[in-house]
Chains A and B, each alone.
Chain A
Amino acid sequence: MSLYKKKDTIIIKDVTHTYKTETGLLPVIKNLNMSVPENGFTAVVGPSGCGKSTLTKLISGLLQPDEGEVYLGGEKITTPRPTVGMAFQNPVLLEWRSVIKNVILPLEIVPNKLNSLEKEKRAKQLLSLVGLEGFEEKKPSELSGGMRQRASLCRALVHKPEVLILDEPFGALDAFTREDLWQVMHNLRKEEPFTGILITHDLRESIFLADEVVVLSGRPASKQFFVKVPKSKIPKLESLYSSKSIDLLKSLRKQIEIAQNQQEQNK
């Protein structure tokens, strides 16, 4: 089975978005076009403040674009919908709930036919997949930063969303914990296939996890550069140090520099 199917799950078509601030209009995204195929995983990188987080809000339906359209699974997005799962840099676990109750949270909101036992079973299955077996009844305050983020990923996936939106989920973790979580992401993808978009500042992360990398231009963001990442079947961290990877990283870095310069000039 090939990784790609013909159908695109996420389609962003000619999207333009402008914030109204006290000092005037602030265009953040301009004529952005991109798509993610079914079960594909696309990383979006770009200079700080170029509108990446706005993009996640547009895809999840929390914001409406001024112009253009966003489609999920062929349907135009006008409001938030339960077929989306999200995880942020801040894991935002609810401190008063146990880990497993945190993971179950979306199942309490999204319409579904699971009874409480099945919900727990589903959450347990995900928690063991990310290595949190035995931590189900712990409170979030008893977990380390990496463990909290693992739980947050489980929560994003528990209701089997069509689309997973990750907004710098590993940004606040130390380098080694981050690499552990990259492996967790690969496991999750294998066991719980999803169509995903990953916002990140880490170029190594983008090529290690994603099938495609999109570089956004400086604000207002549009697609500046696009590259498919060749993938081995079993992802290994060492592959990041191969000459191929290093060349890819260099070219991505170059693109970021161009975007940064452009953003500087637009100020």
Chain B
Amino acid sequence: MRNILVPLYAIIIFLVLWELLVWVNDWPNYKMASPSDIWPAFWKFKVLFFQYGWDTLWRTVVGLFIAVLCGVFLGMIMGFSKVLREAIYPLLVGFNAIPKATVVPIIALMFVGQHDLNTVLIAFMISFFPIAVSVSIGLSTLEPEYRDILRSLGASKSLIFWKIALPKTLPEFFGALKVAVTLAFIGTNLMEIVSPHGRGLGALFDSGKTNSDYPLMFAVLIALALLGIGLYYVVVVLEKIFAGWAERSSD
């Protein structure tokens, strides 16, 4: 109960302070909308919010899913082979160093009009790097004794991977997944905002901008925050299920 009440109070206090800040300064809503402006804005477009919210959500999740597949695969290659790690790593770092905001227009031009593909692609590109790095580090730092206890019994390489290397890497993997889920979400919205005539919460934000509907823009921000929190905690729950052993009890 306390776990729910404490964050809830914090959110309420935050909203009240926000409302006060706008009220005391007497800001117009194009400077900063207040929480009391946001609900009507949401209610006016509630159908669009749910439709576009769903678009943003599934694009993020699909992009993230592909990022997990590719990231784990790359991580395994780099974790098991030193030569391949030396070959791939600089490429990966260089690719990751490119700000994805600059890639967005390129992708948007490359696949004009294919909003779903564009968005998923950016979500994937922005989020696979931390996963690949964490998996490769997890695998390459496996203490040799762990391998030796199984190898000395005649266990095959794949058996060693399933019994030891994979579970031992899971905490690192989930740590990276928490970062990746936020990144994928950013990627999705970058593309949605830029794509003309697209869908998704990003597109709704953009239409708020074009129509000077400032409360709508703020309402989209809140909706994005809520979706982001939801996605993050889904990863937290998965982590508890699959890598809960890595958590030490605090008492």
Contact = CB atoms under 8 A, between A and B. Distances in A.
A94 interface: yes
B148 to A, nearest CB: 6
A86 B146 contact: no
Given A80-B153, A80-B154, A109-B154, 7 more contacts: A57-B148, A62-B151, A79-B154, A82-B153, A86-B149, A94-B163, A109-B150
A106 B151 CA distance: 10
Contact of B164 (A57, A88, A94, A106): A94
16 contacts: A57-B148, A60-B152, A80-B153, A80-B154, A81-B154, A82-B153, A82-B154, A88-B148, A88-B149, A95-B246, A96-B167, A96-B168, A110-B153, A110-B154, A139-B245, A159-B153
A149 to B, nearest CB: 13
A141 interface: yes
B162 to A, nearest CB: 10
A88 B144 CA distance: 11
B159 A109 contact: yes
Contacts, number: 62
Contact of A92 (B145, B151, B245): B145
A81 B246 CA distance: 32
Nearest to A57: B148
Interface in A150-175: 155, 159, 165
B173 to A, nearest CB: 13
A215 interface: no
Contact of B145 (A61, A80, A90, A110): A90
Contacts of B148: 57, 60, 62, 86, 88
A92 B163 CA distance: 13
A108 interface: yes
B146 to A, nearest CB: 5
Nearest to B245: A96
Contacts of A86: 148-149, 152
A39 B189 CA distance: 69
A105 B159 CA distance: 12
Interface residues of B, number: 21
Q: Is the interface of B mostly helix, strand, loop or mixed?
A: helix
Contacts of A130: none
Q: Which 10 A-B residue pairings sit nearest by Cβ, starting from the closest?
A: A96-B245, A60-B152, A92-B145, A109-B155, A80-B154, A109-B153, A88-B145, A80-B152, A86-B152, A96-B167
A61 B248 contact: no
Interface in B159-177: 159, 163-164, 167-168, 170
Interface string A41-80: 0000000000000000100111000000000000000011
Nearest to B146: A92
B120 to A, nearest CB: 33
Given A61-B152, A80-B154, A94 B167 contact: yes
Given A88-B145, A92-B146, A96-B167, A141 B248 contact: yes
Given A62-B152, A81-B154, A95 B145 contact: no
A84 interface: yes
Interface in B135-159: 143, 145-146, 148-155, 159
B246 to A, nearest CB: 7
Contacts of B149: 86, 88, 92, 105, 155
B153 A90 contact: no
A245 to B, nearest CB: 32
A108 B163 contact: yes
A99 B164 CA distance: 15
A95 B168 CA distance: 8
A82 B153 CA distance: 4
B152 A105 contact: no
Nearest to A59: B152
A65 to B, nearest CB: 16
Given A92-B145, A141-B248, A84 B152 contact: yes
